[in-house]
């Protein structure tokens, strides 16, 4: 399984499917932000990373232009990542609360981080076509992450991308857990849905929605740390105790 995730990561890094995203990510990597002018930017698509035996999969929007597009790792080196890794650390899913670079010692435990779009998009807004071009990568990750029990979707776009990927895998309509039955899953912070079983697996899968920890949401107070911590506390509750002592766990290899 680890080898397959590593092979998929290499394929993602080499992707040039979307001309607009290729042009933007490479332009940002050439021009750089003044604060990082002495750094060599990644400037390529950013693969998912984490524990290949993860029971919790975090789905974000896309790499930040001067975050993941610079460091080569999802949510690494930007303000949204500061929020995410603090929350994962407090919930027992990470060994440290800070992530600044790919070689900073961060390890995810029982968690895997990925995104709806693998390239930094202009204004953080991938087009529908670009999201569609990236979706097969998320579909394949969901197949390869065989132990996944909870998808934590950060924001409306990640929520929609996860649902689209699951539909491609043959998933039907999930059951709303805390609300009255709805015609279709609706995004709201803290919304929780469940599939009792799926065509490719016999165990249940949960989908848990959260506001994205973007500056727009955190600086306006739409999302605060207590709200964000509550999401990962719920994820921890859903999967149960930390199985970090079990064998066969570890980080997926990152392409160079």
Which 8-state DSSP code applies to residue 55? S
Which residue ranges make up each domain of the chain?
Answer: 2-239
Cα 225 from Cα 89, distance rounded (Å): 13
CATH 3.40.930.10 fits 2-239, yes or no: no
Confidence of residue 177 (pLDDT cuts 50, 70, 90): confident
| pLDDT one-digit tens code per residue, 224-247 | 999 999 999 999 999 986 655 343
The model's pLDDT over 119-150, given as tens digits with 9 standing for 90+, comes to 999 999 999 999 999 999 999 999 999 999 99
Is pLDDT above 60 for 253? no
Mean pLDDT computed over 90-97: 98
pTM of the model: 0.93
**Measured CA angle at 249 (ends 82, 235), to 5 deg:** 50
- Sequential DSSP letters for 75-105: T-SSHHHHHHHHHHHHTTSBS-S---STTS-
Single out the residue of 206, 254, 4, 12 nearest to residue 117, CA to CA: 12
Summarize pLDDT for 147-168 with one digit per residue, the tens. Answer: 999 999 999 999 999 999 999 9
Question: Measured in whole angstroms, how far is the alpha carbon of residue 8 from the centre of its chain?
Answer: 15
Q: Residue 77 and residue 101: Cα distance in Å, rounded?
A: 6
């Amino acid at each position: 399984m680890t080898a397959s995730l590593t092979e998929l990561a290499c394929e993602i890094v080499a992707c040039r499917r979307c001309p607009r995203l290729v042009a933007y990510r490479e332009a940002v990597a050439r021009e750089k932000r003044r604060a990082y002018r002495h750094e060599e930017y990644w400037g390529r698509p950013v693969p998912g990373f984490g524990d290949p035996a993860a029971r919790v999969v975090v789905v974000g929007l896309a790499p930040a232009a001067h975050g993941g597009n610079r460091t080569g790792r999802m949510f690494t080196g930007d303000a949204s990542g500061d929020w995410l890794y603090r929350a994962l650390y407090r919930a027992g899913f990470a060994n440290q609360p800070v992530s600044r670079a790919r070689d900073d010692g961060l390890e995810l435990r029982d968690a895997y981080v990925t995104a709806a779009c693998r390239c930094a998009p202009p204004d953080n807004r991938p087009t529908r076509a670009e999201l569609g071009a990236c979706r097969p990568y998320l579909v394949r990750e969901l197949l390869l992450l065989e132990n996944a029990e909870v998808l934590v979707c950060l924001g409306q776009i990640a929520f929609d991308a996860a649902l689209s990927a699951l539909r491609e895998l043959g998933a039907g309509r999930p059951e709303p857990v805390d609300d009255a039955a709805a015609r279709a899953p609706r995004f709201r912070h803290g919304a929780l849905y469940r599939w009792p079983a799926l065509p490719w697996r016999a165990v249940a899968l949960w989908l848990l929605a959260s506001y994205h920890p973007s500056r727009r949401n955190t600086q306006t107070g739409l999302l605060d740390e207590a709200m964000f911590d509550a999401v990962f506390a719920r994820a921890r509750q859903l999967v149960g105790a930390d199985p970090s002592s079990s064998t066969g766990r570890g980080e997926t290899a990152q392409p160079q």
